[in-house]
Amino acid sequence: MAHRHALAALAAFATAGLVLTAVPASADGGRRPAKTLGELAAAKDRYFGAATDVVGLADAEYARQLAHEFNSTTAGNELKWYATEPQQGVFDFTLGDQVVHFARKNNMVFRGHTLMWHNQLPDWLTNGAWTADQLRAILKNHITQEVRHYRGKAYSWDVVNEPFNEDGTYRDTIFYRILGPGYIADAFRWAHEADPHAKLYLNDYNVEYIGPKSDAYHALVKSLKAEGVPIHGMGFQGHLALQYGYPTTLQENLQRFADLGVDVAITELDIRMLLPATDDKLATQAKWYADVTKACLAVRRCVGITLWGHTDKYSWIPAFFPGEGAALPYDENLNPKPAYYAIRDALSQ
Ligand code: G3I
């Protein structure tokens, strides 16, 4: 079946270049080989990745760590519409190319994020008074140009990001308002035409557990599959917060999407907490990271996990949630936290 081939190709891609490296002594006194998260995930036919922004890549120690420890990455902002088509019909892939180049140079699986989102749109698009025909043509051109530019270089694309409200109704975006719900199927078809090998995903937050929002995605994926729309995956962002509790239905939820015949992936994992971080909170966070990892490993079609950045040094959290942070497995000094070791243990089982 197609997805088996995809996983095999993914594994080959992910492990290429990871052989013949000396295995350093581990931090726990050498009782087990200190394999990287990427190596451990690859041994299970999966990727373990972390998003990056292009500015971070100028930080040599950060970039070295990202390349060494992870076998996948994605661009945190550089492939969004405002960055890639800043003026109508004028495309700029300069920054995105830098992240893709970094990924290729380091044999990392590259996820494309994102072709359509209601945030970070260019002003020319949001300020225009478009007819449906005009907006459809703009959308088709945007998707075609971007996916074609990265054809063969992007393993997957988040084609449509966050199209639903919390209650599972369609979000009132410029696309939905002018084009109606059919814009989603159109976007997947255009992306597929531009790169028939890329895995095409829906992607959202607060869908890790079974509830109205994930139910709506489940129904949508089912109907898109029934219509023959080329959709291949469901992305669960995984922006979790200790104060809201662990999504205990995660594994069951991943499985019910896999049962529809699509891949699933954790696409933007971070686990924030109210500051200050204490040993207790960091221990709970470590358990959650391990539990998410185990949930993915337990579902055959869960192809991988992407952290939304790997270090607290560059996390988006403090700017968006004042008083919260410490969300990633490496601290602000790039040192591994308990979460790092917990993920490593989970991947080793
Ligand atoms: O580039 C400008 C810079 O010139 C300016 O000086 C600076 C001052 O604020 O802002 C910079 O832009 C920021 C941009 O990130 C690049 O760093 C924006 O203000 C900021 O809003 C933007 O935040 C991004 C956010 O999406 C926007 O909603 C985060 O970095 C990015 O991590 C975050 O990622 C999203 C995913 O795409 C979708 N899922 C949720 C996730 C978290 O919000």
Q: Give pLDDT tens digits for 207-226.
A: 999 999 999 999 999 999 99
Q: For tokens 């531009």, name the residue.
A: 194
Query: Is CATH 2.130.10.10 the right assignment for the domain spanning 5-10+34-348?
Result: no
Closest Cα to atom 41, ligand 1: which residue? 268
Crossing angle for the helix pair 132-149 and 183-194, to the nearest 10 degrees: 30
Separation of CA 77 and ligand 1 centre (Å): 7
Active site residue 208: no
Closest Cα to atom 16, ligand 1: which residue? 77
Average pLDDT of the residues in 3-8: 44
Closest Cα to atom 34, ligand 1: which residue? 76
85 lines ligand 1 (CB under 6 A): no
Who's near 73: CB < 8 A, 6+ residues apart? 49, 50, 51, 52, 66, 99, 102, 103, 108, 109, 110, 111, 306
Q: Where are the domains of the chain?
A: 5-10+34-348
Who's near 269: CB < 8 A, 6+ residues apart? 237, 238, 239, 240, 289, 292, 305, 306, 307, 308
Closest Cα to atom 15, ligand 1: which residue? 77
Least confidently predicted of 7-16, 181-190, 332-341? 7-16
Residue 179: its pLDDT value, please? Answer: 98
- pLDDT tens, position by position, 136-149: 999 999 999 999 99
233's enclosing H/E stretch is: strand 233-236
Backbone angles phi, psi at 203, to 5 degrees: -150, 135
316 lines ligand 1 (CB under 6 A): yes
120 lines ligand 1 (CB under 6 A): yes
Closest Cα to atom 35, ligand 1: which residue? 76
270 lines ligand 1 (CB under 6 A): no
Separation of CA 304 and ligand 1 centre (Å): 24
Closest Cα to atom 43, ligand 1: which residue? 316
Q: Which of 53, 73, 77 to mutate to test the pocket of ligand 1 (most atoms within 8 A of CB)?
A: 77
Q: Say how far apart CA 104 and CA 102 lie, in whole Å.
A: 6
Q: Say how far apart CA 109 and CA 148 lie, in whole Å.
A: 17
Residue 34: its pLDDT value, please? Answer: 73
56 lines ligand 1 (CB under 6 A): no
Check if the beta carbon of residue 220 is closer than 8 Å to that of residue 202. yes
268 lines ligand 1 (CB under 6 A): yes
Separation of CA 151 and ligand 1 centre (Å): 25
Check if the beta carbon of residue 161 is closer than 8 Å to that of residue 113. yes
Average pLDDT of the residues in 196-201: 98
Residue 106: its pLDDT value, please? Answer: 98
pLDDT bucket at 17, cuts 50 / 70 / 90: very low
Least confidently predicted of 22-36, 92-106, 250-264, 267-281? 22-36
Average pLDDT of the residues in 321-326: 98
Strands 263-274 and 324-325: antiparallel
Residue 33: its pLDDT value, please? Answer: 55
Please tell me which residue in 78, 162, 227, 324 is annotated as part of the active site.
Answer: 162
**332, 335, 326: which is closest to 279 by C-alpha?**
326
pLDDT at 23 over 60: no
Q: E-strand spans in 308-348?
A: 324-325
In sign, the C-alpha dihedral spanning 242, 156, 49, 32 is positive
Backbone angles phi, psi at 341, to 5 degrees: -65, -35
- Which whole-number Å values give the CA distances from 68 to 72, 108, 243, 272, in the listed order? 10, 10, 32, 24
Q: Say how far apart CA 82 and CA 75 lie, in whole Å.
A: 13
Active site residue 78: no
Residue 91: DSSP 8-state: -
Average pLDDT of the residues in 149-168: 98
Closest Cα to atom 30, ligand 1: which residue? 316
pLDDT bucket at 3, cuts 50 / 70 / 90: very low
- pLDDT tens, position by position, 232-287: 999 999 999 999 999 999 999 999 999 999 999 999 999 999 999 999 999 999 99
Please provide the average confidence, as pLDDT, over all residues in the chain. Answer: 93
Q: Say how far apart CA 319 and CA 76 lie, in whole Å.
A: 15
Average pLDDT of the residues in 10-22: 41
Q: Which residues on adjacent β-strands are paired with residue 269? A: 307
Q: Say how far apart CA 76 and CA 52 lie, in whole Å.
A: 5
73 lines ligand 1 (CB under 6 A): no
76 lines ligand 1 (CB under 6 A): yes
77 lines ligand 1 (CB under 6 A): yes
**163, 162, 150: which is closest to 191 by C-alpha?**
150
Residue 31: its pLDDT value, please? Answer: 52
